[in-house]
Amino acid sequence: MKRKALKFLIKFLVVNSVIYLVVAFALTHWPIPKIENTKNYDFSSVRESARNEVSAKEVWIKLRDGKEIFSRVYDGKTKNVLIFLHGSGSDSRYLSKASKHFADLNMFTVITPDLRGHGRNSGTRGDIDHIGQLEEDIEDIVRYAKENLHAEKIILTGHSSGGGLALRYLGNYKHTKVNGSIMFSPYLGYKSPTLRPGNGNWVTVSVKRFVGLSMLNKIGINSFNGQPVLFFNRASEWNDSLQVASYSYRMAMSMDPKDFRADIENIYAPTIVLVGGDDESFYPDKFAEVFSTSDYTETHVIKGIAHMAVIDNSESLSKIRAWLGSLNQKIN
C-alpha cells in the first residue's frame, strides 16, 4: 500500500513539474504585444534641458567587470557630489538643466551616468548581464566620486525608474552607504498604490512573458532573462539613436525596488521625494502615505507640474535647497 502511494506521489510530482515547465516555456515565448508609438508624457522640457549638456565634462567610468559607462560631470566647486539617475528607456541628457543649476549654485558637483544598456554605452540596448548589476554599477560610481572627485558627501538621486533604482539601492544594507537621496516621481513597482492604471500609457508590458520568466526564475532557470518584456510607447518625434525601445526581464527587474515597502523602511539617510501634482503616471497624493513609514523622508507635491518637468521646476529646486541646508546640519 505504501509503495503504491509512493508511486502515485512520484507520478503526481513528475506530471505537475512537466506541466509547470511547459506552461512557463510557453508563456516565456509568447508573441510580443502590439507596440503603440503614441503621445504620453510632455517631453518639451527634455529638449530644452538637453541644451545645457555642453557645460559638462564627458567621462567614462570604469566598472568592476572592466567595462565603462558614459557619464557627464557638472563641476559645482564642492565636494557634495550628486549621482543623478535617469528614467526608463532614456539617457542622461534630459537631466542637464537641473544638473547645471545645481552646479552653478555650487550646491553639488553632479554626475549623470547613462545607465548600462542605455545611451552612449556599448553592449545590448535595454539589457544587462544579470539582475542587480545596476546596483553594482552605482557602487562603482560612488567609488569613482570618492576617488576622482574627492566626494565628502554623496547624494543618490533619480527620476522615475531612476528614483525607484535609488530606492532599491538604499533599501539594501549591503551596498556602500550614501549620505542622502533625492527622488523625483519615483517608480515604486506595479504593486504600489502610487501607480496609475496603464502607467500613463508609457509602457506596454508583455504580461504573459513576465509571468513565464518569473516561473522559470523561481526554479533557478535564468537562461531566458534576456527576453524583452517591457516596450516603451515613445512618440516617434522623441525617438533617436540614444533611446531604448524595450527592456529585458533582467533589466526590468533591476530597475524596480525589490519590495518598495521594505526598501522604504530600510532608508537610513535623509531623503526628499518630489512629485508633480499633474504627474501622468502616478497619484501624487499617495506618496506621502507610502513614505510615511520612513523617519528619514519628507515628501512634497509640486502643484501644476507634470512627470518630466518636476526635475528642473523652480519650486522643486527651492525645496531641494532648503532640504540641503537641513541635510548639512544632520550629517556634519
Q: How many whole angstroms separate alpha carbon 94 and alpha carbon 275?
A: 17
Q: Three cell numbers at 58?
A: 564627458
Largest CA distance in the chain: 82
- Strand-pairing partners, residue 182, are 157, 272
Digits of tens for pLDDT over the chain (332 positions)? Answer: 667 766 766 776 777 777 888 888 888 888 877 666 566 565 665 555 555 556 799 999 999 999 999 999 999 999 999 999 999 989 999 999 999 999 999 999 999 999 999 999 998 999 999 999 999 999 999 999 999 999 999 999 999 999 999 999 999 999 999 999 999 999 999 899 999 887 767 788 888 999 999 999 999 999 999 999 999 887 766 677 888 989 999 999 999 898 999 999 999 999 999 999 999 999 999 999 999 999 999 999 999 999 989 998 999 999 999 998 877 655 55
Contact 263, 167 (CB under 8 A): yes
Q: Three cell numbers at 122?
A: 556599448
Taking Cα atoms as reference points, which of 172, 179, 173 lies closest to residue 156?
A: 179
Q: Three cell numbers at 47?
A: 529638449
Q: How many whole angstroms separate alpha carbon 72 and alpha carbon 67?
A: 17
Q: Which domains does the chain have, with CATH numbers?
A: 44-194+251-331 (3.40.50.1820)
Can you tell me whether residue 231 is helix, strand or coil? strand
* Element containing residue 62 per DSSP (H, E): strand 57-62
Give me the half-sphere count of Cα atoms (radius 13 Å) on the Cβ side of residue 57: 12
- Strand-pairing partners, residue 247, are 230
Q: How many whole angstroms separate alpha carbon 117 and alpha carbon 244?
A: 8
pTM over 0.85: yes
Q: Where do the H-state alpha helices sit in 105-158?
A: 133-148
Q: How many whole angstroms separate alpha carbon 305 and alpha carbon 321?
A: 19
Instruction: Find where cell 508624457 sits.
Output: 41
